[in-house]
Chain A
Amino acid sequence: MTALRPVKLEIRGVSLERYNERTRQRLAVLDRIDLQVCEGELVSIVGPSGCGKTSLLNAIDGLIRVTAGDILVDGQPVDRPGPDRAMVFQNDCLFPWRTVAANVAYGLELQGKLTRREMRERAGALVELVGLAGFAEHYPNELSGGMRQRVNIARALAMEPELLLLDEPFAALDAQTREFMQFELKKILVRASSTALFVTHQIGEAVFLSDRVAVFSARPARIKETIDIDLPQARTLDLKHQAPFIELERRVWRLIEQEAQTAGMMTVA
């Protein structure tokens, strides 16, 4: 079904090497990654910690350059950050001197395409979309962690990006808030019909949010397997306790377990 939709993001044979100044060693981070994300699709990347998931996301955003391979968004090669992509950062990275609305409008201000009034309207609509109505004039330090992440998401959505990149946006949240935020995010993304690439190390989160889950190997990261998540689009948190979900979660977990073992992160009793 997904094959019928146009490809939004195409990653072909992407490799990345990092040079460590101190140890003077080259470190292979990504190894010939191939991945496609179709329009309207939400794909998650899971993998052992430190496997290079964030590096790939940064490369797609254009913040870093890859050593080999191509990253194409709508067929156009990526070489720098652009308005067709927007990143939701791991630490919310909100500007503490800007109100919620002003933080959301930040990207629009940089672009300078809209009038002040249009920006305010767009920011207001997004603040509402992420469920923060009434908090537009608050400052980030007056908000809870979950609310700040909502602002972080709204700031990225305000750009109306072709591709939304989410880098473990819920990593710093407590377990409960995290669950709620997963539910909210899924709702928001479906409503905004966004194409998104989501990086996480939490398997349940990946399965719950995604249409497909790509499992990365330990460094240098390769795609070990991609698993289709054939669950209904309208997802409630209750889904997490149902058999199909648990089965999918188990499949992903097994793959990661194998990886962790080969990487020596886990010892078998």
Chain B
Amino acid sequence: MDATLKQVNEALSAPAISAWQRHENARISIVSVLAFLAFWEAMVQFGLVNPLFTSSPSRIATAGYELFAGGTIYGDLRASGVEFFAGYGLAIATGVPLGVLMGWYGRVNAVLDPFVSALYATPRIALLPLVMIWFGIGLMSKVAIVFLGAVFPILVNTITGVRTIDADFIKVARSFGSSDRQLFLKVALPSSVPLLLAGLRLGLGHGLIGIVVGEMFGATEGLGFLISVAGARFQTDKVMVGIIIIAVAGMTMTAILRAIERRFERWRPSDRG
């Protein structure tokens, strides 16, 4: 048995692969992106496509520089940022506790499930006109639409996470004399964390959709508004700047959540075996 212990020790401490190897895929990705940008730029430079439709990396860079240097974009960034984080934060603050309640108490679930299921199945964009009627075209309507987009994935994942406890864990808990409260605190909550985090990540994507569509539908500032106005004026470069900012923001936030998820990966019951 000591031999086994030693093997495990070695397996745990040995660096699996060198840093250079580990980053091989990242290097390939960077080259592929650079190649794409070069191809795009060349097509425009050689007059093969019309930059009015396709823009080009250099034009986008110029437009981006002008937007930031001119200072006009900061208001849009702030508006979108505030709307997004308020809506998303509200979605977490509501979705997680409500999900825990619905997952744990069958009665609470029975009361709320029809509404949650119906709203979850409805594309939230369809609610946009209603939201505009209720909240106007200011900040609040966008907060509401981000909230509506993000809250359901978070809620549904939390419910599933709390409710689906591994039958083996319930058996262990019962055998060790666990009370219902202890089952909830020491088993149901921790075992729901991986699903909950996945819900947060899904909610993030839905929230971003909400903000862009919301601002396009009716707003006076924000990135979605900027894209929509620039699009109406055929300012393709500016449209692209807006898209890129949103894409980068989305990727960054998703990456952060993925990193957190990886930290909790070992919590997954499926790792057993």
> Which residues does A use to contact B, with CB under 8 Å?
61, 63, 81-83, 86-87, 89, 91-97, 106-107, 109-111, 131, 135, 139-144, 146-147, 159, 177, 180-181, 184
A83 to B266, Cβ gap below 8 A? Answer: no
Q: Is the CB of A96 within 8 A of B268?
A: yes
Greatest chain B CB density within 10 A among A61, A81, A111, A135 is at: A81
Q: A91-B168, A96-B266, A96-B271 are in contact. Are A177 and B174 (CB under 8 A)?
A: no
- Contact indicator B4/A96 (Cβ below 8 Å): no
Q: Does B54 contact A (CB under 8 A)?
A: no
Contacting pair B175 A86 (CB below 8 A)? yes
| B172 near A177: Cβ-Cβ < 8 Å | no
Residue in chain A with minimal CB distance to B1: A180
Given A93-B169, A131-B1, residue A81 in contact with residue B174 (CB < 8 A): yes
Do A97 and B191 touch across chains, with their CB atoms under 8 A apart? yes
Query: When the two chains form their complex, are residues A184 and B182 in contact, meaning their CB atoms are under 8 A apart?
Result: no
Task: Report the minimal beta-carbon distance from A156 to chain B, rounded to whole angstroms.
Answer: 9
Q: Can you list 10 A-B pairs with a CB-CB distance of less than 8 A?
A: A63-B171, A86-B176, A95-B186, A96-B271, A97-B191, A97-B193, A97-B266, A140-B272, A142-B266, A159-B176
Chain B residue contacts of A144, Cβ below 8 A: 4, 7-8
* Distance in Å: Cβ of A151 to nearest Cβ of chain B: 12
Minimum C-beta distance from B41 to chain A (A): 47
For the complex of A and B, the 8 pairs showing the least CB-CB separation, nearest first, are A97-B267, A141-B271, A107-B176, A93-B168, A97-B190, A180-B1, A87-B175, A93-B172
Task: Select A96's contact among B1, B174, B186, B272, beta carbons within 8 Å.
Answer: B272
- Is the beta-carbon distance between A89 and B171 smaller than 8 angstroms? yes
With A81-B176, A83-B177, A106-B186 given, name 16 new contacts (CB 8 A).
A81-B177, A82-B177, A93-B172, A95-B172, A97-B190, A97-B264, A97-B266, A110-B176, A110-B179, A135-B5, A140-B271, A140-B272, A141-B272, A146-B1, A147-B8, A184-B1
CA distance A223 to B190 in the complex (A): 42
CB-CB under 8 A from B172, the residues of chain A are: 89, 93, 95, 106
* A96:B8 contact, CB within 8 angstroms: no
Is residue B269 within 8 Å, beta carbon to beta carbon, of the partner chain? yes
With A and B bound together, what is the CA distance between A142 and B8 in angstroms?
8
- Cα distance A32–B56 when bound, in Å? 85
- Which residue of the partner chain, among A106, A142, A180, contacts B176 with CB atoms under 8 Å? A106
Q: Which residue of A lies closest to B264 (CB)?
A: A97
Contact B174 A63 (CB under 8 A): yes
Which B residues touch A86, using CB under 8 A? 175-176
The docked-state distance in angstroms from the alpha carbon of A180 to that of B176 is 27
Contact of B186 among A89, A109, A180 (CB under 8 A): A109
- Whether A177 contacts B169 in the complex (CB less than 8 A), given A82-B177, A111-B177, comes out as no
Q: How far is the CA of A86 from the CA of B176 in the complex (A)?
A: 7
**Which residue from chain A places its CB closest to the CB of B8 in the assembled complex?**
A144
By a CB distance below 8 angstroms, the chain A residues around B193 are: 97
Assess whether B5 is in contact with A147, with CB atoms less than 8 Å apart.
Answer: yes
Give A142 to B4 CA distance when docked, in angstroms.
13
Contact with A along B62-104 (1 / 0, CB 8 A): 0000000000000000000000000000000000000000000
> Does B118 reach chain A (CB closer than 8 Å)?
no
In the bound assembly, the distance between CA atoms of A89 and B176 in angstroms comes to: 12
Residues 7-30 (chain B) with a chain A CB within 8 angstroms? 7-8, 12
CB-defined contacts of A94 to chain B, threshold 8 Å:
272
Best-surrounded residue of A86, A87, A95, A159 (most CB of chain B within 10 A): A95
B178 at interface, CB cutoff 8 A? yes
**Nearest CB of chain A from residue B10's CB, rounded to whole Å:** 12
Cβ contact of A61, chosen from B175, B178, B266, B268, cutoff 8 A: B175
CB-defined contacts of B176 to chain A, threshold 8 Å: 81, 86, 106-107, 110, 159
Which residues of chain B are within 8 angstroms of A96 by Cβ–Cβ distance?
266-269, 271-272
Asked if B268 and A81 sit within 8 Å, CB to CB, the answer is: no
